Amino acid sequence: MGEKNDFRVLVINPGSTSTKVGVFEGEQALLQKTVNHDAATLATFAGVSDQMPYRMETINSALAEAGIDPATMDAFVGRGGGLMPVEGGTYEVNDVLLDHARRGANGVQHPAQLGPQIAHELAARYGKPAFVVNPPDTDELCDLARVTGVKGVYRHVHLHALNLKETAIRHAASLGRPYEELDLVVCHIGGGISVSAHHNGRMVDGYDIVGGEGMMAPTRCGALPVVEVLDLIDSGRSTADIRRMCMKTGGFVDLLGTSDAREVQNRAAAGDAAAKRAWDALLYQLTKAICAMAGVLAGHVDGILLGGGMAHSQELVDHVRDTCGWVAPVTAYPGEFELEAMAAGARRVLSGQEQPKSYTGVPVFQGFHD
């Protein structure tokens, strides 16, 4: 594949009502566009994978409008949804991965399932490879992080793995050190909030933001006392309702009726007592989560990194510096680098810096057997 590193890579990141499309030549972005989809049209499809032709048509239109020919690409990368838990890395889209993405083998229906499917279709059309980079089901927990106090019940993890890993890699580069040599606490702070411990290039612990762990977030309830949850169910709340609170309707949505963190901050500053309490509680829980991950790293932390949209809040960044700066230096990387991260993963493989991994469909962890 040569020594060059100016490969052209098309990346696709499907979301609930839009698809982000990026074209990169080396590290230069030739196109970064959010293609919005009509909600009424999406509602006519029975399942996520049924949206494929519609999404593909809108992506092709966006590329044509930008004057970009997909035939000039060296690789195609899709956000990897629907997969079983895997270790981090860049995976070539094979038949097993494609099948799992189509049907959502992990039981979670999410538009990210369309990523591998779209990348595969384009790759097959133009005779180029298709990849998935650090998919949402990246699971690198150490064994002790999996243990609970109930036999046969284990901790699993769902995190913003793609952005967490890319933020860590970028920070390591800024220090002139390999990511694999650093101990970091890395956060993605947005509608969902991921807090993770990175040791020797692996996310050895973190909170399952799909499973109702960790801190609350604008759209997620975070950890709840089990007995209180049982009381909610006894009072008539359904398990489906509780599951939605873990992913979509908890946190600020349930407490304040909004998922907009900026609105909550503004309401708090204007004297809204409930908004101030919710905002301060989020900051309080963020400090707890970060310091817990520092404990996982035995207090040896080379840096605390804050990414995601809410890292634009200077109040939030200042709070973490004030409450966690004694652990390690705090660095903010506002926003997300998901498109860049997917392109970078493909470039590492194309340039020979990294070997692509083969997706087997076998979960990385299947319980302890002693």
Domain layout of the chain by residue ranges:
8-141+338-358, 161-334
- DSSP for 238-271 reads -HHHHHHIIIIISTHHHHHS---HHHHHHHHHTT
Q: What percent of the chain has pLDDT over 90?
A: 88
Buried b (16+ CB within 10 A) or exposed e, 256-295: bebbebeebbebbeeeeeebbebbeebbebbeebbbbbbe
* Cβ neighbour number for residue 220 with a 10 Å cutoff: 27
CA 47 to chain centre: 22
Is a pLDDT exceeding 90 seen at residue 42?
Answer: no
| Pair of tokens at residue 22 | 């990026």
Given a contact cutoff of 8 angstroms between Cβ atoms, the answer to whether 204 and 140 are in contact is yes
When pLDDT is averaged across residues 281-305 and rounded to a whole number, the result is 98
pLDDT of residue 2: 45
* pLDDT tens-digit map of 128-138: 999 999 998 89
* pLDDT tens-digit map of 8-33: 999 999 987 889 999 999 999 999 99
Is a pLDDT exceeding 70 seen at residue 274?
Answer: yes
* pLDDT tens-digit map of 164-189: 999 999 999 999 999 999 999 999 99
When pLDDT is averaged across residues 346-361 and rounded to a whole number, the result is 95
Q: Do the domains 8-141+338-358 and 161-334 sit in the same CATH topology, yes or no?
A: yes
Burial of 351 (0-12, 13-18, 19+ CB in 10 A): middle
The most distant pair of C-alpha atoms in the chain lies apart, rounded to whole Å, by: 64
pLDDT band at 1 (very low <50, low <70, confident <90, very high): very low
Q: Topology of domain 161-334, per CATH? A: Nucleotidyltransferase; domain 5 (3.30.420)
Its CATH class, for the domain covering 8-141+338-358, is: alpha beta
Is a pLDDT exceeding 50 seen at residue 217?
Answer: yes
Average pLDDT over the chain, rounded to whole? 94
